[in-house]
Amino acid sequence: MLNLYGTSIEEMAVHQVGNKSKDEGMFLSKESYYLDTELTSHLNDFFFKPFIKQEESYLQFSHDEDLSFNEVYNLVKGIFNAPDSFHDYSKKIAEYLYSKSEHPHIIAGEVYITLLNDISLDNEMVQGVGIFKSEIPRSFMKFRKDDENLMIDVEQGVFLEKLDKGAIIFNVETESGFKVLTHDMNRYDAKYWTESFLNIAPKQDEIFQTKKYLKLCEDFSKDVVFPNEDQKEQIKFLNKSVDYFAKNDEFTEDEFINQVIENPAYQTEFKDYKDKFKEDYKIEDFSNFAIANDAVTNMRRKFKNIINLDTNFEIKLNFTDDNSNDLIEKGYDEEKGMYYYLVYFNEEKKK
């Protein structure tokens, strides 16, 4: 569990990084920026709000050859090991970002490197390094008075409600690439921030494993169950999958398949489906793992329990127990030449 509300900015450096392909250059500040109480309050909201709102899905630094070749990983580790040299490391981070700013779509902007204290992560207080970037200047109005009138000046600056790019690196799990959270509001250059600059990959912890396996179940329900059955059976399969994850602390694949997939033919097909796409889901070794309850809750919200009909009717299903499936039947009316659903109930609920 992450809590950033008590986090303080110990030190901050601000630099400007342009587009290298356009020869826009960069500007490196000579020293760290002085932070007063009012500015710190505004910056806390600006930097941390996107991470407070987003789902906790941690990443880690990576490299195709070896983690030790990841430039940002080494520079951040240098800050943690030698905080007195923070500003020198901040300039190197800005210089490296500039070296990766070669695509013509990349927008120049201000880069803020921060040393963070008092981050509450999994009930422990840890240090962090924040790397944030503001790119798109936004217009705002300023008012001034003369002796007789109120005058309006239109200026441009950074809008403190919207951070363009950001990453927070937590000083834990150093040897495996730290824990990292990232934010990117602009989709047109997403690879530039996460791949070219940070070079981060999903952290294969229980959150990642739980989400990926449930995503596999969702896609199997769309690609296999629905074409061969109907939306009712698709939704039933998804509900049973989520219920298994919700009721267990440990995932065991053989147990899951036997309890959730009743049709033996589908059991074989599910295994074949997983083997076919295991590289896409990165779940090659996911036969046993600890289940992350928060990830189950978040995934359940994303699954739709609604049958959409071409007659503009919707049926919302909630398979709360084993008998629920017996309370809805699908049939075909020869006279009308149409399918129908028959729903059993005792009484209508009052709103």
Task: List, for residues 5-32, the tens digit of each pLDDT value.
Answer: 999 999 999 999 999 989 999 999 999 9
Rounded-to-integer distance, Cα 71 and Cα 195, Å: 12
Q: What is the pLDDT of residue 329?
A: 84
- φ, ψ (nearest 5 deg) of residue 139: -80, 145
Q: What is the pLDDT of residue 129?
A: 98
Are 184 and 272 found together in one domain? no
Task: Please name the residue that has the structure tokens 């939306």.
Answer: 231
Are 134 and 251 found together in one domain? no
From the centroid of its chain, how far is CA 268? 32
Give ∠ CA 136-141-144 in degrees, rounded to 5: 145
Q: Which of 206, 204, 235 is nearest to 222 (CA)?
A: 235
User: Is the predicted pLDDT of residue 321 greater than 60, yes or no?
Assistant: no
In the listed set 170, 202, 234, which residue is the last one of a domain according to the structure?
Answer: 202
pLDDT digits (tens, 9 = 90+) for 149-171: 888 888 777 778 789 999 999 99
Are 122 and 254 found together in one domain? no
Q: Is 119:127 a contact under the CB 8 Å cutoff?
A: yes
Are 185 and 271 found together in one domain? no
Task: Please name the residue that has the structure tokens 């990576």.
Answer: 62
Q: What is the pLDDT of residue 263?
A: 85
Is residue 349 assigned to a domain? no
Are 178 and 304 found together in one domain? no
Domain span including residue 132: 2-202
Are 174 and 254 found together in one domain? no
Q: Which of 99, 94, 95 is nearest to 12 (CA)?
A: 94
Highest mean pLDDT out of 127-141, 168-182, 196-210, 337-351: 168-182
pLDDT digits (tens, 9 = 90+) for 195-218: 999 999 988 888 888 988 999 999
Please compute Rg for the chain using Cα positions: 26
Give 94: exposed, middle or buried? Use CB within 10 Å, 0-12, 13-18, 19+: buried
CA-CA-CA-CA torsion sign (185, 190, 195, 197): negative
Is residue 331 assigned to a domain? yes
Are 241 and 318 found together in one domain? yes
Count: domains in the chain: 2
65: three-class secondary structure by DSSP: coil
- Give the N- to C-terminal CA distance of the chain in Å, as an integer: 36
